[in-house]
């Protein structure tokens, strides 16, 4: 959904058009006010601003389909009155039997038109029995050809486009009715959508023609471009159930909206010249449909994460601090806003991790040792304890001796003292020399730079942690 919205937004911005955001919520069993709010919040977070739609308004509202049900009911009745649609009384069992028979005969499965030519007496008989009925559109008996904006000329033979349902037996209108009606009434000129909707296009073209006959449309048929599938693991289409499809996951893990849009734009589109890092504004300036590929795109989470890391590195220190505060607050590491002492630590420490993190949710683990009270500091049992032991005690004793007499507490003096004591004095390689010290101070084998971290901790806290690690 997000990639489709992005491509429509970019196309509208590039061509000077109007980006219309419409809520398709006619399925009462699936759609809710919560899902509606989630959708609005998602586009706001991504900063995909719309020109017409919910909360913005426009000349053709309302923009929630659930608020337009009366319009669809009137259109359906007009189509019935003009003989462009008809009531179908076939039961599900009868439809299943038709489908099986078509398979046996080697024909294309689809509705056989059983109710298309019912007599008035047959209709009256069904109505007297209160037999449920759906509203079906009467497809013209001809082939349909259109020039797809992505795929070029496409033709559907008439036998592959049987009469289809517009309104359920319970009166609920289907996508096949509501979208063309809204397109017509809202004067939509271009639609970019998923490849999975390709087969519905000839149906909609026929319905646009019918809507013009009943004065719902001015006769304009939108131009369609069908975007390629996005494939996931195992060379299968990415589905809503796949974790990679969850926008919530990316927000919770700390992907930047700018980075996510950047990566999604690469799924089926290319700026050319091997350019893969760009803003949405640069995307809009360069977006043309001739660069949209009809071939499936593959979602690569590692590449998405790498691009996110690139975007984080483009931010200023202040911007990174601002964006990681919610993640730090969620783990009770800072107040919101941070105290003066916490702010000072962040200003000193964030430059140390700026180049190292690829997602914002990595920041709490890397900064925890600087932000917790001494009484709450603990060495990570899985990640750090193995570095400590009797052999490490010699190293820790030497480190304490080297640091406790320092008169100047700075990164340079800390590094000089520890190298002289552990590498030159004990003859240790850097990994064996500094590994136990790192674990003692940060609680982890992997951390921000050691000497800078010790400077931020301060001499007293550094010596307390080294001493505690001995025990």
- Sorting pLDDT into bands at 50, 70 and 90, what band is 225? very high
Query: Is 373 among the domain residues?
Result: no
pLDDT confidence of residue 354? 95
Domain-ending residue, one of 162, 196, 227: 227
In percent, the amount of the chain with pLDDT more than 90 equals 76
Shared domain check, 332 and 437: no
- Domain holding 397: CATH number? 1.10.10.350
Q: Tell me the per-residue pLDDT of 106-142, one tens digit each, with 9 for 90 and over.
A: 777 889 899 999 999 999 999 999 999 999 999 999 9
**Same domain for 245 and 210:** no
| pLDDT higher than threshold 70 for residue 238 | no
Domain assignment of residue 289, given as a range: 1-64+228-314
462: left (phi over 0), alpha (psi -120 to 50) or beta: alpha
Mean pLDDT, residues 384-409 taken together: 85
- Whole-number mean pLDDT of the chain? 92
Among the candidates 288, 314, 340, a domain finishes at: 314
Lowest-confidence segment of 177-186, 257-266, 273-282, 372-381 by average pLDDT: 372-381
Q: What is the pLDDT of residue 98?
A: 87
Say whether both 83 and 210 belong to one domain. yes
Q: Let me know if 432 is exposed, middle or buried by CB neighbors in 10 A (0-12, 13-18, 19+).
A: middle
Against a cut of 0.85, is the pTM above it? Answer: yes
Same-domain status, 291 and 342 = no
Last residue of a domain, one of 269, 293, 314: 314
Number of domains in the chain: 4
251 and 200 in a common domain:
no
pLDDT confidence bin for 244, thresholds 50/70/90: low
Residue-wise pLDDT for 11-21, tens only, equals 999 999 999 99
Q: What is the pLDDT of residue 385?
A: 63
More reliable by pLDDT, 265 or 376: 265
Q: How far apart are the first and last CA of the chain?
A: 55
In this prediction, residue 106 carries a pLDDT of 78
Can you give the pLDDT at residue 386? 61
Verify that 280 and 145 share a domain, yes or no. Answer: no
H or E segment at 223?
strand 223-227
Domain of 348, CATH number, reads 1.10.8.70
Pair 186, 328: CB distance under 8 Å:
no
The domain that holds 310 is classified in CATH as 3.40.50.620
Domain presence at residue 380: no
**Mean per-residue pLDDT for 317-330?**
97
Residue 377 inside a domain? The answer is no
In a domain, 379, yes or no: no
Q: Which residues lie closer than 8 Å to 284 by C-beta, 6 or more apart? A: 9, 10, 13, 14
CA angle at 251 for the pair 1 and 449, rounded to the nearest 5°: 140
Determine the Cα–Cα distance for residues 266 and 286; give it in Å rounded to an integer.
13
Residues 54 and 129 both lie in one domain? no
Residue 296: inside a domain: yes
- pLDDT score, position 104: 82
Provide the pLDDT for residue 253: 95
Q: What percent of the chain has pLDDT over 70?
A: 95
Per-residue DSSP letters for 151-204? TEEEEE-GGGS--EEEE-TTSPBPHHHHHHHHHHHTT--EEEEEGGGGGGHHHH
Give a yes or no: residue 109 inside a domain: yes
Q: Which one of the listed residues 78, 158, 237, 240 is annotated catalytic?
A: 240
What confidence category does residue 446 fall into, taking pLDDT thresholds of 50, 70 and 90? Answer: confident
Stretch among 123-137, 237-251, 290-304 having the lowest mean pLDDT = 237-251
Q: Is residue 375 included in any domain, yes or no?
A: no
Confidence of residue 28 (pLDDT cuts 50, 70, 90): low
In a domain, 55, yes or no: yes
240 carries an active-site annotation:
yes
Helix 257-265 and helix 33-46, axial crossing angle in degrees, nearest 10: 90
pLDDT digits (tens, 9 = 90+) for 35-82: 788 889 999 999 999 999 999 999 999 999 999 999 999 999 999 999
Residues of 273-300 as b/e, b for ≥16 C-beta within 10 angstroms?
A: eeeeebebeebbebbebeebeeeebebe
Q: Give the per-residue pLDDT at 471.
A: 74
**Tokens standing for residue 114:** 């059983």
């Amino acid at each position: 959904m997000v990639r489709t919205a992005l491509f429509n937004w970019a196309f509208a911005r590039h061509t000077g058009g109007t980006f219309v955001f419409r809520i398709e919520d006619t399925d009462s069993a699936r759609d809710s006010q919560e899902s509606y709010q989630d959708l609005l919040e998602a586009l706001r977070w991504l900063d995909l601003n719309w020109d017409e739609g919910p909360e913005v308004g426009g000349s053709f509202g309302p923009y929630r389909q659930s608020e337009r049900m009366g319009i669809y009911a009137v259109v359906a009745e007009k189509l019935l009155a003009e003989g462009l649609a008809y009531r179908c009384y076939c039961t599900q069992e009868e439809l299943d039997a038709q489908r099986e028979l078509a398979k046996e005969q080697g024909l294309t499965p689809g509705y056989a038109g059983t109710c298309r030519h019912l007599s008035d007496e047959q209709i009256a008989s069904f109505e007297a029995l209160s037999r449920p009925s759906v509203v079906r559109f009467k497809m013209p008996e001809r082939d349909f050809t259109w020039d797809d904006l992505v795929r070029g000329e496409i033709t559907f033979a008439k036998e592959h486009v049987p009469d289809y349902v517009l309104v359920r037996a319970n009166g609920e209108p289907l996508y096949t009715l509501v979208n063309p009606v809204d397109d017509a009434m809202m004067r939509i000129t271009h639609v970019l959508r998923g490849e999975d909707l390709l087969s519905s296009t000839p149906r909609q073209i026929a319905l646009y023609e019918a809507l013009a006959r009943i004065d719902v449309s001015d006769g304009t048929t939108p131009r369609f471009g069908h975007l390629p599938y996005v494939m996931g693991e195992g060379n299968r289409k990415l589905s809503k159930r796949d974790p990679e499809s969850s926008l919530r996951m990316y927000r919770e893990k700390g992907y930047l909206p700018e980075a996510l849009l950047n990566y999604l734009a690469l799924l089926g589109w290319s700026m050319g010249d091997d350019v893969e890092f760009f803003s949405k504004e640069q995307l809009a300036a360069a977006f043309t449909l001739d660069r949209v590929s009809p071939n499936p795109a593959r979602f690569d989470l590692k590449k998405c994460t790498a691009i996110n890391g690139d975007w984080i590195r483009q931010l200023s220190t202040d911007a990174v601090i601002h964006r990681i505060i919610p993640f730090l607050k969620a783990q009770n590491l800072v107040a919101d806003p941070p105290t003066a002492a916490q702010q000072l630590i962040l200003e000193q420490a964030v430059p140390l991790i700026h180049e190292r993190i690829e997602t914002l949710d990595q920041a709490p683990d890397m900064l925890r040792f600087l932000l917790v009270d001494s009484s709450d500091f603990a060495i990570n049992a899985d990640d750090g304890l193995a570095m400590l032991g009797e052999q490490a005690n010699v190293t820790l004793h030497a480190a304490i001796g080297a640091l406790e007499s320092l008169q100047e507490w700075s990164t340079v003096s800390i590094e000089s003292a520890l190298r002289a004591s552990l590498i030159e004095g004990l003859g240790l390689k850097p990994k064996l020399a500094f590994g136990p010290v790192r674990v003692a101070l940060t609680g982890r084998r992997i951390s921000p730079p050691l000497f800078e971290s010790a400077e931020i901790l301060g001499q007293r806290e550094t010596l307390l942690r080294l001493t505690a690690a001995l025990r």
